[in-house]
Homo-oligomer: A and B are copies of this chain.
Amino acid sequence: MTTTIGVDLGATKLLAGTVDVDGEVGDRVKRATPIEGPEAVADAIAEMVAELGGADRLGVGTPGYVDDEGSVGGVPNMVGWDPPVPLAQLVRAATGVNAVAVDNDVNVGALGEVAHGAAAGHDDVLCVFMGTGVGGGVVLDGRLRRGPHGLAGEIGHLIVRDGGRRCGCGGRGHVEAYGGRAGMEAEARRRHAAGESTALVEIAGDARMKSSVFAKALDKRDAMAVELIDEAIEAVGAAIASAVMLLDLSIVVVGGGVADRLGPELVARVGAAAAQRLVVGLAVPVVPSRLGDDAGIIGAARLVGS
């Protein structure tokens, strides 16, 4: 029997697990992501694979852009990752496993949801992940859309309010400026500095304004939190509507830290915002992601066929 392991490489956590053909995760291992650079990460992956009893095939999801050879570029949050990092090659060398595939974590998340999650059985899918930013993956005719430069899927940088709020990338009016946690935090801090009071800053203090901070402020019916979340919902809904108009899709999956924390009600409201903006006849279900914390492992395993 072929053993497949999926590896979910994050800036702080490294997860690995065996995944069967039905997308079920068997054994799991977890450790902090080594901070000594790519070779140390590859060595840690090799140790985890050994702990899991070895593998015939290995899929890895990573932050950053990944080229056809499994090299990784542009990983802002990981020290010592000077692009391009030949991650697939390093992992092959460290593990002795030949069948290694590497892809971007957002693509991997989308693949998992399509293969074994909320979009199972669908061939034309948009996955939107609302986290620190807004990421996405597009599956068309059953295949992940990568594009000639491997840069497809940037739903977070769709323009929904041309000339509007400044995005982390420097652009204006992008979905991510409204729908990403960092964009919402920047706006809250800007308004707070300008004299508005909000429970968001009271709860977070100087620390990062995590999803849980937004959840708590919403529970208190904090006016600014309500407004920022309303704007996030409208922006993500508008981007989904735009994507559906352009591509004609059969389902949209919404996941990510913010969506998971605020729950199915948030996703339902995003779906309503999208539906309101769609030409009649193009109605599309908008559903919560289903794989949760295992999405990265399951999607990574999918890269090599599980």
Contact = CB atoms under 8 A, between A and B. Distances in A.
Interface of A: 123-124, 136, 138, 140, 145-155, 157-162, 169-173, 234-235, 238-239, 241-243, 245-250, 277, 279, 281-282
Contact of A145 (B140, B147, B235): B140
A110 to B, nearest CB: 13
A186 to B, nearest CB: 18
A246 B134 CA distance: 12
A196 to B, nearest CB: 22
Given A124-B147, A162-B160, A246 B140 contact: no
A151 B136 CA distance: 21
Contacts of A149: 248, 281-282
A2 to B, nearest CB: 29
B150 A248 contact: yes
A148 B162 contact: no
Contact of A157 (B136, B245, B249): B245
Contacts of A162: 160-161, 234-235, 238, 277
A171 to B, nearest CB: 6
16 contacts: A140-B145, A145-B248, A148-B248, A149-B281, A151-B282, A154-B246, A154-B279, A155-B245, A157-B242, A157-B279, A158-B242, A160-B162, A162-B234, A173-B238, A246-B246, A246-B247
Nearest to A74: B281
A238 to B, nearest CB: 5
Contact of A279 (B136, B169, B242, B281): B169
A60 to B, nearest CB: 22
Contact of A238 (B159, B239, B282): B159
Contacts of A242: 157-159, 242
Contacts of A171: 277, 279
A138 B157 CA distance: 19
Nearest to A126: B246
In this complex, the member of A148, A170, A239 whose beta carbon has the largest number of chain B beta carbons within 10 angstroms is: A148
